[in-house]
Amino acid sequence: MSSHLARAASRIRRSPYQTTAAVSIMTMTLFLACAFFLLAAGSQAILRYFETRPQVNAFFTTDYTPSPGQVEKVKSQLVATGKVDSVKFVSKDDALTIYKELNENDPLLLEAVTAQMLPASIEITAKNPADLKPLADSLKSVEGVADVRYAEDIVGRLSKWTSSVRAIGVSLVSIHIFITFTIIMLIIGIKVANRRDEIALLQLVGATPGYIAAPFIWEGLLYGLSGAVIAWSIAYLVLLYSTGFLVGFLAGIPILPIPVVFMLEVLAGTIALGALVGGLGGLLAVRRYLKA
Amino acid sequence: MITAQRLTKKFGDISAVIDLTLSVAPGEFVFLTGPSGSGKTTFLRLITRDLRPDSGSLVVNNHDLAKLKNKDLPVLRREIGTVFQDFKLLADRNIWENVALPLEVRHLPKDQVDKAVKIALELVGLTSRTSLFPAQLSGGELQRAGLARAIVGKPKLILADEPTGNLDPKTARTIVKLLKDIHAELKTTILMATHNADIVNLYSQRVVSLDKGKLVHDNPKGKYE
């Protein structure tokens, strides 16, 4: 095995331009695969987060401030239904405090906003996710309520988004994998054609097809491995760089930072995909020269 | 060792070998002669099953080539050493590595490979050239390296296809003497295709002559005709 690997490495070294082309296309495809996988996994995690939090938010209009009496009345009506786990009133001042916490790193955003610009709201946690819709319907009729949002609504939208990300990702990555596979096959195919006399001689001295094919398969595997490591490193660096921004954007949804173990699993998957594309490309490139 | 029965091979409308019936016993040294296009190389390629016959049967080292499965082809070929007119040494490997090739493909231990390569190179007198590459050697040295590669795996049969075709007369005689020495020492069956009359006439050996694909002479102690 080591002699085949050494021979493959030597052939790679001797053709720097072909190697650059092969590793570049492999890197681009695997980066796309990594990026879409992380996006789909992130969407899925957000979806799960909302699915496990049966919450309804009723927002009052920004120019309306409910009286303490009205708030207490609404609270008691909700508790009386027996479907509510907790009810919390968020005043305009509370909303401003939350807004300031979320945007503490951005003074410009803080300066522009006052409590009067933010809506007061009522946050209700239901005992059962199935009760979210009737609770939301009852809140729509409360005086001054402009908008009612609940998890089922968000979950539905997120589900569509996640499905779209998955579908676009699978299509785009599949097309790129096909292109990469073809290019790897072409590059290794050129090398095979250049060595057809050597292959004929190896066959004549009794080399098995596996022996002849091994260095070409290793070459493909090395392209896959290099592309995978580079693509994963770029994806991880981009993710680490954007973590600060994403934490603010996701406003309290605890999916960041991504655990290192998970990223290592992504690396393993990327290497496996790269090795499959490269190795198979190498095998198919040499196969037609191995027919007895 | 080799038994051909009514062997025929055509390339399109051209018949390269026609109805050839021939036997070569183990340990024999046979000159296969004939002009260019007489079918010598085609016959050798049929023996290594580089080509398949259109009709007839061919048995080599007890392998019936018509029944030989593709997966068993390397087994047959490891029993045959081949010497080529154009040497066919790999340009990016040095002489030692070129000679070691037939053993390398068998996954033999390194010490075993080293020992066999050393013996083969000593036999052809190339021990001082082992680290050089083919481009750095003369024609005679290249053919000696080719010969060392052919014998390194201790084959039962050596096929030499015009091994002197690219060499000057003196070097050609040296190469054939080497083949004769190997034959005497290792008792290997040797089938040497040539159209070098001087060399054939120098040795009193069995001569099989082909012309236009047909067997025209088979003399136990023959001359070039």
Three-class DSSP labels, A123-146: EEEECCHHHHHHHHHHHHCCCCEE
d(CA A236, CA A245): 15
The answer to whether B91 touches B133, Cβ cutoff 8 Å, is yes
**Which residue on chain A is closest to B52 by alpha carbon?**
A292
Distance from CA of B77 to the nearest CA of A (A): 5
Q: Which of A285, A262, A266 is nearest to A274 (CA)?
A: A266
User: A204 and B50: CB-CB below 8 Å?
Assistant: yes
The partner residues of B20 in beta bridges, in order of sequence, read B7
Distance between start and end Cα atoms, chain A: 23
- CB neighbours (10 Å) of residue A228? 28
Three-state DSSP class for residue B41: helix
Best B60, B68, B90, B108 member to test A by mutation, with max A CBs in 10 Å, is: B90
Give the pairing type, strands B206-211 and B29-33.
parallel
Distance from CA of B105 to the nearest CA of A (A): 5
User: B88 and A202: CB-CB below 8 Å?
Assistant: no
For residue A35, what is the DSSP state? H
Residues B96-129 as b or e (16 or more Cβ within 10 Å = b): bbbbbbbbbbbebeeeebeebbeebbebbebeeb
Q: Which two tokens stand for residue A15?
A: 């053709």
Distance from CA of A222 to the nearest CA of B (A): 21
Q: Which helix (H) or strand (E) holds A33?
A: helix A16-51
- CB neighbours (10 Å) of residue A77? 14
**Confidence (pLDDT) at A167:** 87
- pLDDT < 50 regions, chain A: 292
The answer to whether B209 touches B34, Cβ cutoff 8 Å, is yes
**Confidence (pLDDT) at B219:** 86
The answer to whether A188 touches A279, Cβ cutoff 8 Å, is no
Longest dimension (CA), chain B: 51
* B132 touching A (Cβ < 8 Å): no
**Confidence (pLDDT) at A275:** 94
**Which residue on chain B is closest to A205 by alpha carbon?**
B102
**Confidence (pLDDT) at B40:** 92
H helices of chain B, in order, are 40-47, 73-78, 95-104, 110-124, 139-151, 169-186, 197-202
> In terms of residues, how long is chain A?
292
CA angle, A180 then A184 then A188, to 5°: 175
* B82 touching A (Cβ < 8 Å): yes
Q: Which of A145, B118, B129, B177 is nearest to A135 (CA)?
A: A145
User: B105 and A202: CB-CB below 8 Å?
Assistant: yes
d(CA A253, CA A17): 46
Distance between start and end Cα atoms, chain B: 25
Q: Which two tokens stand for residue B215?
A: 């067997």
Q: Which of A206, A225, A203, A229 is nearest to A286 (CA)?
A: A203
Residues A21-49 as b or e (16 or more Cβ within 10 Å = b): bbbebbbbbbbbbbbbbbbbbbbbbbbeb
**Confidence (pLDDT) at B198:** 86
Distance from CA of A25 to the nearest CA of B (A): 29
Q: Which two tokens stand for residue B184?
A: 């005497």
**Confidence (pLDDT) at A292:** 47
**Confidence (pLDDT) at A98:** 83
Peptide linkage before A257 cis (omega within 30 of 0): yes
CA angle, B216 then B220 then B225, to 5°: 40
User: A206 and B75: CB-CB below 8 Å?
Assistant: yes
Which of A197, A206, A292 minimises the CB distance to B105?
A206
Q: Which tens digits make up the pLDDT trace of B127-146?
A: 898 999 999 998 889 999 99
* B77 touching A (Cβ < 8 Å): yes
Q: Which of A68, A202, A51, A63 is nearest to A129 (CA)?
A: A51
How many CB contacts within 8 angstroms connect chain A with chain B? 39
**Phi/psi of residue A86, each to 5°?**
-150, 155
**Confidence (pLDDT) at A50:** 73
Using a CB-CB cut-off of 8 Å, the residues of chain A touching B75 are 206
User: B70 and A204: CB-CB below 8 Å?
Assistant: no
Q: Which two tokens stand for residue A156?
A: 């539905």
**Confidence (pLDDT) at A269:** 94
- pLDDT < 70 regions, chain B: none
**Which residue on chain B is closest to A212 by alpha carbon?**
B105
Longest dimension (CA), chain A: 97
**Confidence (pLDDT) at B193:** 94
- CB neighbours (10 Å) of residue A10? 12
For residue A253, what is the DSSP state? -
**Confidence (pLDDT) at B190:** 94
Amino acid at A201: L
**Confidence (pLDDT) at A1:** 64
Q: Which of A148, A145, A150, A147 is nearest to A65 (CA)?
A: A145
| Cβ under 8 Å to B: A residues 180-209 | 197-198, 201-208
